[in-house]
Structure 1
Amino acid sequence: MSVAVESRSQSQSRSQSQLSLTEQAYRDLLDRLVTLQIPPGAPINDVHVAAELRVGRTPVREALKRLEAERLVVSYPRRGTFATEVQITDLGYLTEVRQRLEPLAASMAARRASPVHKAALTDLLDELDDADGADVDELIRLDMRVHRALYAATSNPFLEDTLVRYDNLATRIWCLFLDRLPGLAGHVGEHGPMVRAVLAGEEDQAAVLAAEHVTGFEAAIRALL
Structure 2
Amino acid sequence: METVAEALEGELSLAERAYRSIRDQLVMLEIRPGAPINEEQLAQSLGVGRTPVREALKRLQYERLIAAYPRRGTFATDVNITDLAHVSEVRLELEPLAAAQAARRATAADRAAMTGLVGELGKARGSAELMHLDLLVHRAVYAATHNPYLEDTLVRYDNLATRIWCLFLDRLDDMASHVEEHSPLIEAIVAGDADRAARLAREHVEGFERAIRAAI
TM > 0.5: yes
Matched letter for residue 217 of structure 1: F
Matched letter for residue 103 of structure 1: P
Residue 152 of structure 1 corresponds to 143
Q: 2:175 is matched with which residue: 158, 169, 184?
A: 184
Q: How does 1:8-47 map to 2 (within 5 A)?
A: 20-47=13-40
Q: 1:77 is matched with which residue: 70, 83, 103?
A: 70
| 1:196 partnered with 2:190 | no
Name the CA distance, whole Å, in 1 between partners of 2:50 and 2:31. 19
Instruction: Using the aligned pairs only, state the percent identity.
Output: 64
Q: 1:90 is matched with which residue: 83, 94, 107?
A: 83
Structure 1 residues 184, 51: CA separation in 2 closer, same or farther (over 3 Å shift)? Answer: same
Q: How does 1:113-192 map to 2 (within 5 A)?
A: 113-128=106-121, 130=122, 134-192=125-183
Structure 2 residue runs of 5 or longer lacking an equivalent are 1-11
Three-state SS of the structure 1 residue aligned to 2:67 is strand
Decide which structure has the larger Cα Rg and report it.
1
Residue 29 of structure 1 deviates from its aligned partner by 0.8
Residue 117 of structure 1 deviates from its aligned partner by 0.5
Structure 1 residue runs of 5 or longer lacking an equivalent are 1-18
Structure 1 runs, 4 residues or longer, greater than 6 Å off: none
> Which segment drifts farther, 151-160 or 84-93?
151-160
Matched letter for residue 136 of structure 2: R
Matched letter for residue 223 of structure 1: A
Matched letter for residue 32 of structure 1: Q
Residue 47 of structure 1 deviates from its aligned partner by 2.0
Q: How does 1:54-65 map to 2 (within 5 A)?
A: 54-65=47-58
Residue 55 of structure 1 deviates from its aligned partner by 2.6
Name the CA distance, whole Å, in 2 between partners of 1:21 and 1:112. 29
Cα deviations across residues 143-202 of structure 1 (Å, max 9, x unaligned)? 011101111111111111111111111000000011110111100001111111111111
| 1:52 partnered with 2:49 | no
| 1:106 partnered with 2:87 | no
Residue 137 of structure 1 deviates from its aligned partner by 1.3
Name the CA distance, whole Å, in 2 between partners of 1:117 and 1:188. 20
Matched letter for residue 18 of structure 2: A
C-alpha RMSD of the superposition = 1.4
Three-state SS of the structure 2 residue aligned to 1:155 is coil
Aligned length: 205
Matched letter for residue 153 of structure 2: T
TM (normalized to structure 1)? 0.87
